[in-house]
Structure 1
Amino acid sequence: MVHFSQAFAAALLATGVVAHPGGNTNKEILRRQAHLDHPERRSVQACKRDLVESGWVREQHLRREARLHELRVAAGFAKPEDLVRRDVGEVEEEYGINAACTLDPEATEGPYWVTGELIRKDLLNTEKGAITHLDINVIDTSGCKPVTDAYVELWGSNATGVYTGVQARGNGDGSNTSLKSNALRGLQPTGSNGTATFITVIPGHYVGRTNHLHTIIHHGAKLLPNNTIQGGTISHVGQFYIEQNFMGQVEKTSPYNTNTQKVTTNAADPLFNMGKQGGDDPVMKISLIGTKIEDGLYATIDVGVNPKAKQNPQPVNMWTTDGGKPVPNSPWTGYPDTCRYCGFRPPKKERDIAGEVLQGEE
C-alpha cells in the first residue's frame, strides 16, 4: 500500500496547482515530500516527553496565559486579579497535537522575500487589520530543547493581500507603490525560552493561496549597527496558517472585506495540505483579546527545527534606506512572467514516479 502522503503529493503534482499568480507549487510539494520521507526527520511531537519532563511545557503555558491576561488588562477587558489558569496537566497531555509544526523545507520562500529587514517587534507601520500579538516558540528537535540563539524572520501580505517591498504583476495593482514600505516584515531574536515575539496583522488572501505568514529561521547571524543581521545559516523555511472558520470571520471585518481577489480556502491550498502531513499542525492557536476580532488577537505556535540543517532560499529584493531594491540574478526576478522559478515543472524522473504512485495507489 502506498504511503498516504506520497499518493497525496502525486495527486497534487498532477493538477499543476497555482501558488502565487503565474506560478505553481510543484517544486514545493516535492521538497516537502522528500523531507517527510527522510528517516531522520523528527517532529515537535517526538520531543513531547522531554519538553514535559524538563518543565518547559508548563513554563510556556503559564507564560502564555500571563501574556494573554496582560494584553486583556492593557486593553481594558480584564483586571489584574482576574487571571484564571487552565489546568497544566491537561496542557501537558495535549502538547504537540495542535499548533505545533516542524519547519522542514515544507514551503517555498515565495517570490516576495526581501532580505535585509530590520530587527523589530512591531511590524505594523501604518497597516490596518486584525492586530495580532504573535509568540513563536522555536524548538531544536534534534536535542528537544528551546533554541535560544536564533533570529526568526516573519513576513506576510497586508489585509488586502498585498506584499510590501516588492513590485510584481498580481501583487496588488502591480505598481511600485509598495516598494518604499517595509510594513509587516521584520526579525526577532529568540529569548532564553526560545520565544520570538511580533506584532503584525492576520494576512489577507490573494489569488492562488490561502491566508498565510512566511517565516525563516536564521542561526549564527551577526547583528549589525543598522539593526539588521548578516551571515550565519538558514535552517528552515515555513508558513503559518489560520483556522478556516476563524479566517472567515476575519474576512468580514474591515479592511479585509474590501479585498476583491478570489479566495482560496485552506482545503484548496496544496501547500497547506502538505504542511498538515507528517503529524504537523501549521495552524496558529489564536485567542481574542477582547470580545471581537477588532479588539486584537493573541496567537501562538511551536515550531521544530534542526539548527544544523542548511537551506538556501532566494530573495527577490533587499531592503535599503531607499526601499526594496532588486537582488542581482535572483531567480525570482520577473515574477510571474520571466523568472527562473516561474512555471516550475518537475524533472521527468519525478513526473514518472508521481505517475507510478497514482497508478499503484490502493
Structure 2
Amino acid sequence: MTGNQTAEGPKHKRDLTRRKVVVAGGAAVVAVGAGSALAMTASADETGSTTARPTSSSGSSGAEVCYRLTSETTEGPYYIDADKIRRDITEDKEGIPLTLDLKVVDSETCKPIADAAVDIWHCDALGIYSGYEDASTGGGGTPPTGAPTGAPTDTPSGTPTGEPPSGAPTGGTGGVHEEPTDDERYLRGTWRTDRQGRVTFRTIFPGWYRGRCVHIHTKVHVDGEWTDAGYEGGHSCHTGQFFFDEESVLASAEVEPYSTSTTERTTLTEDTIYDQSGAAGGLLKLKYNRKNIAKGVVGSLTMGVDPEATNTGGGT
C-alpha cells in the first residue's frame, strides 16, 4: 500500500468535459456503442427510493453503462493503511448486519477494474473508531459513575495563548491524519476486486458521531502488487465515503445498541461532506425488510473512478 498521504483538499471536484458521456438522472450515464442503444428506466427499491436501471434495446447486447466519477472526499483522521486483508471486518462488534456489494469501473471506458485494493473503515454502532477509541467523539449508554453533572461554576478568564493542537478531531470536516492510539482494528478491512471489478464486505450498519451523518470511508488503490504480505505499491485513485438515506438511519436508531446513543445526530442534508449528488456522491442503494431492519441490510454501489488519477483525500 502507498501509506498515509495528503492532497489538495477535502472536496476534489473532477472535470468531466473529456468524457464522452451523457448524464441520465444525475446518477448514471449511458454509453452508446456503434449499432446499439440503451435506455434508462426508473424503479423503486425496497426502501422506497427511485433508482435508474439500464435496459437494452434490440441489438444492444454489447453496450455497457458508464457512471459519473464518484465524488472525492476527505480521508479523515482515522485511516490505517492496509492493516487487515479481509472481507469480514465485523469481529465481535454488535449491530445490524450489513453486506456491502461494490463494483469499481473506469468511468471513461466503462471497463471493470480488476485486482484493485479496496479499503473500507467506519465507526461502530456508537460512533467509535477502532485504533482511536480515546479520540473518537461517539458515545452512548449510561454515563460512568462519578461523572460530573451540572454547569461549571467558574467563568474562564483571560485570552488563550499558543497554537491549537494540530489534527484534533472535529467530527465535521475530517481533519488531518492522526496516528492510532490503540491496537484495535475492528470494522476495517481491505480486499481485492475480481475480474468484474466486484468486491463484497461483511460488516455492521455504522452509527453516528458528533457533526457527521452515518457514513463509511473507502479508498481504491491501483497499479500495486498483491503479495503474500498483502497489497504493496501502486497509488490511491479514489478516496471517498458511502452514505445512507435518512429512512434507513431512522430505522436503525430504533434498534439496540444504536438506540442507546446519547450523541446528537447530523442528517444527510446537514452533513458537510456529502455533496447531495446521489449515487455519484456515494449514496448507497439499500435493500432491507422495512418492518425489521435488524435482520440485515444489503448496500450496493458502482464506483466510477479514474485509474490514472491520484486522489489521497488529505487536507482538513
TM-score (structure 1 length as normaliser): 0.60
RMSD: 3.5
> Shift of the alpha carbon at 1:290?
9.1
Equivalent position of 2:74 in the other structure? 108
> Shift of the alpha carbon at 1:179?
2.0
Q: Find 1:40's aligned residue among 7, 18, 24.
A: 18
Distance 1:130 1:96 in 2: 32
Q: 1:275 to 1:231 in 2, by over 3 A?
A: farther
Distance 2:262 2:84 in 1: 31
Q: 1:48 to 1:165 in 2, by over 3 A?
A: farther
Q: Find 2:195's aligned residue among 179, 192, 195.
A: 192
Q: 1:275 to 1:140 in 2, by over 3 A?
A: farther
Cα pair 2:127 2:136 within 8 Å, conserved: no
Distance 2:248 2:290 in 1: 15
1:190-232 deviations in Å (ceiling 9; x for gaps): 1121111000111111001000001100102222323x32211
Cα pair 1:103 1:237 within 8 Å, conserved: no
Distance 2:223 2:313 in 1: 16
1:110-157 deviations in Å (ceiling 9; x for gaps): 011111322211000001111111100111012111111211111111
Cα pair 1:147 1:190 within 8 Å, conserved: yes
Alignment of 1:133 onto 2:134: no
Q: Which amino acid in 2 is paired with 1:103?
A: T
Higher percent of residues as helix: 1
SS at match of 2:221: strand
Q: Which amino acid in 1 is paired with 2:231?
A: I
Cα pair 1:164 1:178 within 8 Å, conserved: no
Q: Find 1:149's aligned residue among 95, 108, 115.
A: 115
5+ unaligned residues in a row in structure 1: which ranges?
A: 1-25, 58-89, 315-340, 345-362
Query: How many residues in Structure 1 have an aligned counterpart in Structure 2?
Result: 247
1:152-206 deviations in Å (ceiling 9; x for gaps): 11111111111102255344479x9982221111011111211110001111110
5+ unaligned residues in a row in structure 2: which ranges?
A: 1-7, 41-51, 57-63, 140-168, 170-178
Q: Which amino acid in 2 is paired with 1:193?
A: Q
Identity among equivalent positions (%) equals: 26
Equivalent position of 1:263 in the other structure? 265
1:274-333 deviations in Å (ceiling 9; x for gaps): 2517x825211111269621111211111100111112345xxxxxxxxxxxxxxxxxxx
Q: 1:218 to 1:241 in 2, by over 3 A?
A: same
TM-score (structure 2 length as normaliser): 0.68
Higher percent of residues as strand: 2
